[in-house]
Structure 1
Amino acid sequence: MKLSVLDRSRVRAGHTHAEALRDTVAFARQVEQLGYHRFWVAEHHGVPGVAGAAPTVLAAAVAAATTRIRVGTGGVMLPNHQPLVVAEQFGVLESLFPGRVDMGLGRSVGFIKAVRRALGHDESDAAEFGAKLTELLGYFTGDRPVRGYPAHGLRVAPFVLATGAGAEVAAAHGLPLVIGGFRGEEAMLEAIAGYRAGFRPSVWAAEPHVVVSATVAVAGTADEAWRLLVPEAWAMAHARTRGEFPPLRAPEDVLATPMTDRERAAFEQALRGHLFGTPHEVGEALDALVARTGAAEVLVTTSTHDRDALLTSYRLLADLYR
C-alpha cells in the first residue's frame, strides 16, 4: 500500500502565513526522506488559518525543493478557474518537473458567500465541474480548438477529488478517484462502488484507481495521538459556530477553553471518524480501511499545532509500511 500526504499549509497561533508556507516546503522535504509517495497541497481562499491560496504556485516551490516525491494538488478547485489557465499552469509544472506532477482537481467553491463573490462564482458553478473537466483534459490531448501550450501533448496525471456526485464524474471521465469519509463511511463505500461500476477506461487510466483520504494521528499512546487531533477539531468547531477558520492553537490551550454547548458539540463532532492511536492500533485500522474500500493508496492529511509531533506521527506511520 502506498502512503501519500496532503498538507493544507495550516497557520499556527502566533505565526504568519509566510511561515506556514515555508513550513509546507520544509515538511515536503522531510516526508520525502520518510518514503511517502506523493505530496499534495490544497486551495483555500479568504481563510485566516490556511495559507495555501495558490496551489500550483506552492506545488512549484515544493517540487523545486524535492527530488523524488510526486508533487501535486489536492486540489485545484476547477469551478474557480478557467480550464485553459489550469492546463497551462500544469503544463509549466510538468515541463519543469517531468514525470513528478499530479493534477488533483476538485469541485468546491469558496468557503463563504463573500469569498465566492470575490472569486466571481457561486455554489451553482460546482454543477459545471464535468464540462470544465472535459475542456481541461482536452487541452492536453489536443481536442480543443485552442492549443494550450505547454500543456499540449503532455500527460500530467489527473485525479478527481470527490464526495458523492464527483465520483460519478471521475468514472465517466476514466480518472483516478480520491475520496474521504466526510459524509460517513457508508456514503463513501457507496460512492466507491458506483465509481467502479460506472468506470469507463480512458487514455488516463485503464481501470479504476481509488485513493482514500484520511486524517491519521500516531503517537506513543492513544491519548497523545488524540491530542494531536484537538487543534484542528477546535478550528473546525470555531468555523462552524463563528464562521471563521482560525489558526491552530496548542491542545492544552484548547482543552482549557470554556465552550458553549454548541461549541462543545461541534468540537466533539470534529473529533470523530479519524484514525488515531499507537502504531499497532493505527496499522490495524488502516489495513481494515483499505480492505473495506479496496484502495490502492491512502492520502494522509493531518494538522496539529506541534510540528515536531506532526513529523513524528508521519514517521511512525511510514515505519509501519516499509
Structure 2
Amino acid sequence: MRLSLLDRSRTRIGEPESAALPHSVERARLAELAGYQRFWVAEHHAVPGIASGSPAVLLGAIGASTERIRLGTGGIMLPNHRPLLVAEQALMLASLFPGRVDLGLGRSLGFTEPVRRALGRLDVSPEEFAAEIAQVRAHLEGTAEITARPAADAPVPVHLLATGRGLDLAAQRGLPVVIGGPVLRSAELPARLAAYRRAFRPHRGSAPHIMLSADVLVADTDAEARELAVPEAWSMLESRRTGAFGPLEPVARIRERDLGARDRERLEQQVAAAWTGSEQTVARDIGQLLERTGTEELLASGSTYDRHALADSDRRLAAILG
C-alpha cells in the first residue's frame, strides 16, 4: 500500500498568508524523509484560508527542495484553464523533475460566484469537462493539432479527482482515480469502485488505480487527535454560514467561543468526519477502509493549526502505514 500526502497550503490566524507557502515546502521535505510516495498540492482561488492558487508554481519550489518524492496536483481545476496551458505547465515540471510529476485534474469551479466570474466560467457540463480532459491528454501525448513544448521524455500520468459520474468517466478514459469526502464512509463505496474496475478501458497500457483521499490526524490519544481536527472543522462550519473559508484558528480559541447547542453539535459532526486517533486507532480504521475497498493508495490530507502537531501526525502516519 502506498501512502501519499495532499497539502492545501492552509493559512493561519496571526500569520501572514504568505507563510503558508514555505510551510508547504517544508512539509514536503519532511514527507520525503518519512517515506511518502507523493506530495500533491491544491488549487483554490481567492480563498482566505488557502494560499495556493497556482499549483504549478508551488510545485516548482517543492521540486527544487526535494529529490525523490513524486510531485502532483490535487488538483488543477481544469475548467479554470485552457488545456494547452495545463499541458505546458505539466511538461515544464516534468522536464525540470524527470519521472516525478503527476497531473491530477478536477472539475470544481470557483468557491463563490464572484470568483467564478473572475475566472471567466460560471458552469461546465460533464461533456465539456470530458472533452477538455481529452485535449490535455492529446497535448501531453503529442497527438494534438499542435505540439505542446517541451516534449516529454516520459508520459506524465493523468489522474482524475472524481465522485459519482466522475468514476464512470475515469473508467471510460482509462484514468487513475482519486476519491474522497463523505463517500469514503458509504456502504456503497466498494460496489462503486468494483464497477470502476470492471468498466475500465485501458489507455496505452493503463490499469485501474484508486487513491482514497482522507483527512487523517494522529496523536498520542484518540481525544488529542480529535482536538487536532477542530480548527479545520470550525473553518468548514463557518464557511457554510458566512460563505468564506477562513484561516485556521487555535483549538483553545475555538473552544472558548460561546457556541449554541446546535453549533456545538455541528462542530462535533464535522470533527467526526475526519479520520483521527492514536496510532492503534488509525491503523485499525484506515486498514479496514483499505481492505474494504481493495485500494492501492491513501492520499492523506489532514491539517491543523499547530504546525508541530501536524508534522508529528505526518510522521506517525508514515510509521503506521508507510
TM-score range, shorter chain: over 0.9
Aligned to 1:174: 174
Q: For residue 121 of structure 1, give the secondary structure of its aligned residue in structure 2.
A: coil
Task: Give the 3 Å change call, closer, same or farther, for CA 160–204 of structure 1 in structure 2.
Answer: farther
Q: Deviations over 1:99-148 (max 9, x none)?
A: 00010111111111110010001133565211100010001222211111
SS in 2 for 1:108: coil
How many residues get paired?
Answer: 321
Matched, 1:88 2:88: yes
Distance in 2 separating the partners of 1:115 and 1:193 = 37
Give the TM-score normalised by the residue count of structure 1.
Answer: 0.95
1:258 deviates by: 1.9
CA–CA distance in structure 2, aligned partners of residues 258 and 103 of structure 1:
44
Deviation, 1:175, is: 1.0
* Cα pair 1:176 1:210 within 8 Å, conserved: yes
| Structure 2 residue aligned with 1:276 | 276
Give the structure 1 partner of residue 301 of structure 2: 301
Moved more, 125-134 or 231-240: 125-134
| Distance across 2 between alignment mates of 1:39 and 1:169 | 25
Matched letter for residue 282 of structure 1: V
> What value does the CA root-mean-square deviation take over the aligned residues?
1.6
User: Structure 1 residue 154: deviation in Å?
Assistant: 4.2
What corresponds to 1:101 in structure 2? 101
Match for residue 229 of structure 2? 229
Equivalent position amino acid for 1:117 in 2: R
CA distance in 2, matches of 1:297, 1:171: 17
Tell me the secondary structure at the aligned position of residue 271 of structure 1: helix
CA drift at 1:151:
4.2
Aligned match of 1:211: 211
Match of 2:18 in 1: 18
Match of 2:163 in 1: 163
SS in 2 for 1:186: coil
Secondary structure of 1:203 counterpart: coil
> For structure 1, which runs of at least 5 residues remain unmatched after alignment?
none
Corresponding residue number in structure 2 for 1:264:
264
Of the structure 1 ranges 312-321 and 301-310, higher mean CA displacement relative to structure 2 is found in 312-321
Q: Is 1:130 the equivalent of 2:130? A: yes
Residues 67-91 of structure 1, C-alpha deviation per residue, up to 9 Å, x if partnerless?
0100111000011110000000000
Q: Contact 2:176 / 2:210 at 8 angstroms: preserved in 1?
A: yes
Q: CA deviation at 1:269?
A: 3.1
Deviation at 1:255, TM superposition (A): 1.2
CA offset at residue 259 of structure 1?
2.4
Which residue does 2:47 correspond to in 1? 47
Alignment partner, residue 197 of structure 2: 196
Contact 2:11 2:17 survives alignment (8 Å): yes
Q: Does 1:311 align with 2:299?
A: no
Q: Give the match's secondary structure for 1:155.
A: coil
Letter in 2 for 1:161: L
Q: Following TM superposition, by how much is the alpha carbon of 1:260 offset from its aligned partner in structure 2, in angstroms? A: 4.2
Cα separation, 2, equivalents of 1:287 and 1:38: 19
CA contact (8 A) 1:6 1:42 kept: yes
TM-score of the two chains, using structure 2 as the length reference: 0.95
What letter is aligned with 1:107?
R
Cα distance in 1 for residues equivalent to 2:113 and 2:262: 23
Cα distance in 1 between the residues matched to 2:84 and 2:50: 26
Task: Write the distance in 2 (CA, Å) between the matches of 1:66 and 1:161.
Answer: 25
Letter in 1 for 2:79: P
Q: Say if 1:79 and 1:125, in contact at 8 Å, map to a contact too.
A: no
Greater shift, 100-109 or 251-260, is seen at 251-260
Shift in Å, 1:181: 3.4
Change (3 A) 1:98 1:79: same
1:232-284 deviations in Å (ceiling 9; x for gaps): 00000000111111100011111111224554344233223321111011001
8 Å Cα contact 1:140-1:153 kept in structure 2: no
Q: Which residue of 2 aligns with 1:185?
A: 186
